[in-house]
């Protein structure tokens, strides 16, 4: 008798941002609590779930590609159930059923906590569309269902009030809603007690945390409470920040509390004021630079990463060169570059998508290559020094080495006996590439 005869199984893949990873861990906990066993392949599963992203067109195309390959599975095993969850489910709604009629349930961003019950309803032969707006989530999750033993993400707020013209997030996630600080602290302590030594707080605009509460909560106060009230954590981080809310108090907190990472993801999207206005980002190039100056005044060694969108409607070569010059001026440690694609329902969908695909590709390549060389130059200057590395596990490219990150989010590879995962190791840096550092443990 096969395992499918005796127990129910599920396959779950999450795509997109870190918040999707946390939500998919909550989904996994709900499924396991209902008696399902997680398996590693959709072809082994009674229930196949994808937790999706809608921020880029490529992310949705990836999901439909997965669904196309599952069509034969559904023909061979009609009793299997296929579900789409998250932002793509919220934005595409019943259009998913039309394009992929073998899908059984579509569950949006306000109903994924009910996944086990919805799967059972679908198992009765019904198609389930659960995309109601305004359903408040509890944040409760089985913390043991996470994918990493020593590190965890913690969602501290949901939604976004900043309607950038290119972004679908406010439409799929709703308005900003912050958790109470006590609720966050409770989850962080439970994670610490279960072996977690690094936590990363998550929010779409995390530096607006607490502004919707009436108790005076702010991100810098939350970070201080975690630092002081949760001993045992080795590292504390947070993403993603918005330049308009980068306060002096937050910069001082990063500087004053040693277990808070000195790495900040601060998306700029463009270096051109004209493009920034069309994007409705709410700041100018100079205002962004002042936010960076405010940070570096208090944290001179802060490592900054950013996001760029190239090929935004109306972006001229002169606009693009403004981004290139800002990249040089800021001297980022890392850049994430995205080629613009229109998102249904956003204001920018009405703008002519007038930058040719080949030109988007070229601009994407220019930024990536510049960043690669800049990062390489930064890393070469570190050779001969020592990095304090929080070990994450085996290197994915060399089984003989371990890998981890320092407080500046720099990846370091090194050989070592035993299993140092979840511990801090001092590594003497002997070399580097454009993407990582390597060395030997200090003994």
Closest alpha carbon to 320 in 334, 340, 342, 347: 340
What pLDDT score was predicted for residue 2? Answer: 43
Closest alpha carbon to 165 in 313, 348, 343, 311: 348
State how beta strands 303-310 and 334-339 pair.
parallel
CA-based torsion, 110, 204, 263, 218: positive or negative: negative
Q: Record the pTM.
A: 0.91
CA 183 to chain centre: 21
pLDDT per position as a tens digit, 352-370: 999 999 999 999 999 999 9
Element spanning 177, H or E: strand 177-178
What pLDDT score was predicted for residue 6? Answer: 64
Q: Name the DSSP letter for residue 128.
A: E
Quote the CA–CA distance of 173 and 175 in Å, as a whole number.
7
Burial 179-198 (b: 16+ CB within 10 A, else e): bebeebbebbbebbeeebbb
Residue with tokens 């998508």: 353
Angle among Cα 414, 418, 419 to the nearest 5 degrees reads: 75
Q: How far is CA 241 from CA 207, 264, 281, 306, in A?
A: 5, 8, 13, 10
The length of the chain, given as a count of residues: 443
**1, pLDDT greater than 70:** no
Cβ–Cβ < 8 Å for 193, 148: no
pLDDT per position as a tens digit, 331-347: 999 999 999 999 989 99
Q: Which band of pLDDT confidence, cut at 50, 70 and 90, is reported for residue 5?
A: very low
pLDDT per position as a tens digit, 126-184: 899 988 776 677 788 888 888 889 999 999 999 999 999 999 989 888 899 999 999 99
Residue with tokens 């930024």: 367
Closest alpha carbon to 234 in 298, 188, 303: 188
Residue with tokens 């989850």: 187
Neighbours of 6 (CB within 10 A): 7
Task: Give me the domains of the chain, ranges plus CATH numbers.
Answer: 3-130 (3.40.50.12160), 143-380 (3.80.30.20), 386-441 (2.40.50)
Residue with tokens 């579509």: 106
Q: Which band of pLDDT confidence, cut at 50, 70 and 90, is reported for residue 110?
A: confident
**409, pLDDT greater than 90:** yes
Cβ–Cβ < 8 Å for 390, 234: yes
Burial class (CB in 10 A: 0-12, 13-18, 19+), 105: buried
- Give the bridge partners for 58, in sequence order: none
Cβ–Cβ < 8 Å for 30, 49: no
């Amino acid at each position: 008798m096969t395992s499918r005869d005796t127990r129910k199984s599920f396959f779950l893949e999450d795509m997109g941002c870190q918040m999707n990873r946390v939500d998919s861990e909550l989904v996994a906990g709900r499924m396991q609590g209902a008696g399902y066993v997680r398996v590693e392949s959709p072809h082994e599963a009674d229930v196949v779930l994808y937790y999706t992203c809608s921020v880029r067109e490529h992310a949705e195309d990836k999901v439909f590609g997965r669904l196309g390959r599952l069509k034969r599975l559904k023909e061979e095993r009609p009793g299997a159930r296929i579900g789409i969850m998250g932002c793509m489910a919220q934005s595409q709604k019943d259009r998913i059923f039309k394009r992929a009629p073998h899908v059984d349930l579509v569950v949006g961003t306000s109903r994924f906590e009910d996944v086990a019950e919805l799967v059972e309803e679908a198992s009765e032969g019904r198609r389930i569309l659960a995309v109601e707006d305004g359903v408040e989530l509890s944040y409760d999750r089985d913390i043991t269902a996470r994918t990493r033993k020593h590190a965890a993400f913690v969602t501290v707020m949901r939604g976004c009030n900043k309607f950038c013209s290119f972004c679908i997030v406010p439409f799929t996630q709703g308005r900003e809603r912050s958790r109470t600080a006590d609720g966050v602290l409770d989850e962080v302590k439970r994670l610490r007690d279960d072996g977690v030594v690094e936590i990363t707080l998550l929010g779409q605009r995390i530096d607006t945390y607490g502004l919707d509460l009436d108790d005076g909560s702010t991100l810098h106060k939350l970070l201080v409470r975690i630092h002081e009230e949760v001993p045992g954590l080795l590292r504390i981080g947070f993403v993603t920040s918005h330049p308009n809310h980068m306060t002096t108090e937050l910069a001082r907190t990063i500087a004053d509390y040693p277990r808070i990472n000195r790495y900040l993801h601060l998306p700029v999207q463009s270096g051109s004021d004209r493009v920034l206005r069309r994007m409705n980002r709410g700041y100018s190039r100079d205002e962004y630079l002042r936010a960076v100056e405010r940070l570096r005044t208090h944290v001179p060694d802060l490592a900054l990463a950013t996001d760029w969108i190239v090929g935004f409607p109306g972006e001229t070569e002169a606009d693009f060169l403004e981004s290139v010059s800002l990249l040089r001026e800021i001297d980022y440690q890392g850049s994430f570059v995205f080629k613009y694609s229109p998102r249904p329902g956003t204001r920018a969908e009405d703008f002519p998508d007038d930058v040719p695909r080949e030109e988007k590709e070229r601009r994407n390549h220019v930024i990536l290559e510049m960043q690669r060389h800049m990062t390489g130059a930064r890393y070469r200057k570190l050779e001969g020094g020592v990095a304090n590395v929080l070990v994450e596990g085996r290197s994915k490219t060399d089984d003989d080495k371990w890998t981890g990150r320092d407080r500046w989010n720099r990846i370091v590879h090194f050989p070592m006996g035993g299993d140092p995962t979840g511990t801090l190791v001092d590594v003497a840096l002997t070399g580097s590439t454009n993407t990582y550092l390597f060395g030997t443990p200090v003994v």
